[in-house]
Each structure stands twice: as C-alpha cells, then as structure tokens.
Amino acid sequence: MKNNYQETHNTWNKIALLYEEHFMDLALYNDTYHQFCELLSKSNASILEIGCGPGNITRQLLALKPNLKILATDVSQNMVDLAQQNNPGITVQVLDCRDLEIFSEPFEGIVCGFTIPYLAKIDVSKLLANCAKLLTVDGILYLSFVIGNYEDSGFITGSSGDRTYFYYHDFQTIQQDIKLNNMVIIERSDKEYKKADGTLEIHTILMARKL
Ligand SMILES: C[S@@+](CC[C@H](N)C(=O)[O-])C[C@H]1O[C@@H](n2cnc3c(N)ncnc32)[C@H](O)[C@@H]1O
C-alpha cells in the first residue's frame, strides 16, 4: 500500500497544473459549496480543507463567504502552491491527510473534496475519526467520493500517462464511520460526471454535522 500511495502522491504533484486547467472552473458542484456555506453558523468560520488541489473549492467558498478563515492542505507541494496563488488570503500547508493528528485547534468546518478516492478503507475510517475530533459541536463536514465496489479499486492511468491508485468506497461503510464518530449526515447529492472517455460516473457529496 505504501508504494501505491507514493506513486499516487508523485502523480498528483506532477499533474497539478493540468488538474488546475481542467477543474479550476468546473461549476458542477457549485450548489453543494453553497449548501456548505449555508450550513456554517458563522460568516468567519474556521475551515480546514483536506486535499485542496489548486484551491478550486476554496475559491468558490470565498466567493460566497469572503470572511471564512481557510487553512488549505494537500500532500502535493505544487497543489498547495497553486492554491495559494489562486487564493492569496488563505493559509496553506503541505500535509498528508493520514496525519491529521498534528492539529489540536478545532475547526467549524472541514472540506474534503475527492480526496478519499486516494485513501484505503482503513485510512478513511481514521480520517473520519480525526475529522470528528477536530470539528466543533455543530461543525460541518463536506465529503465527496465515488461509490463503488472496494474490490474494484486499482491503478488508473490519466492522459499524461501517470498512474494514481483509485479507491471506490461503499456508502454503508462511510455512513457507519460517520455515525460511529458522532456525526450525522444532513445532505446528500449525487452528480453525473462525464469522464474524458465519455462514460458517466456518479459523484456523491455528503454533508455531516458533528453532534
Ligand atoms: C481529485 S483531487 C481533488 C482536488 C479538490 N479538492 C477538488 O475537489 O477538486 C485530489 C487531491 O487530493 C490530494 N491527495 C491525494 N492523497 C492525499 C493525501 N494522502 N493527503 C492529502 N492530500 C491528498 C491530491 O494531491 C489532489 O490534490
């Protein structure tokens, strides 16, 4: 698993600009960013973003709520650099989300957009437990992923020829982990996403509240 992660992380770092070109302005999920902002209790809520990529979600959130205090993190230095360029006012940090224990201060919101497709089941369980610990009571978690058979997970090769290990996750397991950690799902959206090869994939976005 260690080498799968290493190759995946290297690929993300290598294709950061390419990802920015394709996804910086994608509007498909905008309504869910709106929902997340509506669910936050404060206009200046503290937000931790996990796997921020080039800062595409952060940019949308700040357009809706300019006073959010966002700490955007990603395992890739190049992604974090782009996130900072695209959102000069935020704080960024290179961080593998398997190491969330380093934080002690609470957050009023956590955004984790399409990062768990790059985490094995055991690390997703750990991540959800850590998110619950870091969220304030009534804090909101935004989590997106692709539902599927975990056994179908494996390497996929992108247009650059580089590979990432892509994990499908089972909804029941995610739901169970959320519940186990004292959070409750309050919104679910399923979006049809057309992949480069023309096939459709369902992208699931959950919002959960810390009890
Ligand atoms: C599909 S992109 C999502 C970017 C952005 N959140 C979005 O929704 O468009 C996945 C991101 O997760 C990051 N990532 C993958 N594994 C990670 C890990 N273990 N810790 C932190 N970030 C990770 C990648 O570097 C990449 O920026």
The span from the CA of 118 to the CA of 51, in Å, is: 10
List ligand 1's pocket residues with C-beta within 6 A: 12, 23, 51-53, 56-57, 74-76, 79, 96-98, 113-115, 118
Atom 27 in ligand 1: residue holding the nearest Cα: 53
Portion of the chain with pLDDT greater than 70, in percent:
99
Q: What is the pLDDT of residue 29?
A: 97
Residues ≥6 apart with Cβ < 8 Å to 79: 12, 13, 16, 19, 52, 53, 54
The string of DSSP letters for 163-202 reads: EEEE--B-HHHHHHHHHHTTEEEEEEEEEEEE-TTS-EEE
pLDDT at 185 over 70: yes
Domain count, the chain: 1
Q: What is the pLDDT of residue 110?
A: 98
Position in ligand 1 atom list of the atom nearest CA 16: 27
161 to 68, 93, 129, 158, 164: CA distances (angstroms): 37, 28, 35, 5, 10
Cα of 114 to ligand 1 centre, how many Å? 6
pLDDT at 2 over 70: no
What's the CA dihedral at 11, 13, 19, 25 to 10 degrees? 150
Q: Which helix (H) or strand (E) holds 61?
A: helix 56-64
Position in ligand 1 atom list of the atom nearest CA 112: 6
Choose one of 75, 82, 87, 110 to mutate for the ligand 1 pocket test, by most ligand atoms within 8 angstroms of C-beta: 75
Cα of 38 to ligand 1 centre, how many Å? 24
Q: What is the pLDDT of residue 159?
A: 87
Average pLDDT over residues 175-192: 98
Tell me the per-residue pLDDT of 129-164, one tens digit each, with 9 for 90 and over.
999 999 999 999 999 999 999 999 999 999 889 999
Supply the range of the domain harboring residue 80.
2-210
Atom 17 in ligand 1: residue holding the nearest Cα: 75
Query: pLDDT-based confidence at 165, cuts 50/70/90?
Result: very high
- What pTM value is reported for the model? 0.98
Query: pLDDT-based confidence at 206, cuts 50/70/90?
Result: very high
CATH number assigned to the domain comprising residue 130: 3.40.50.150
Q: What is the pLDDT of residue 1?
A: 64
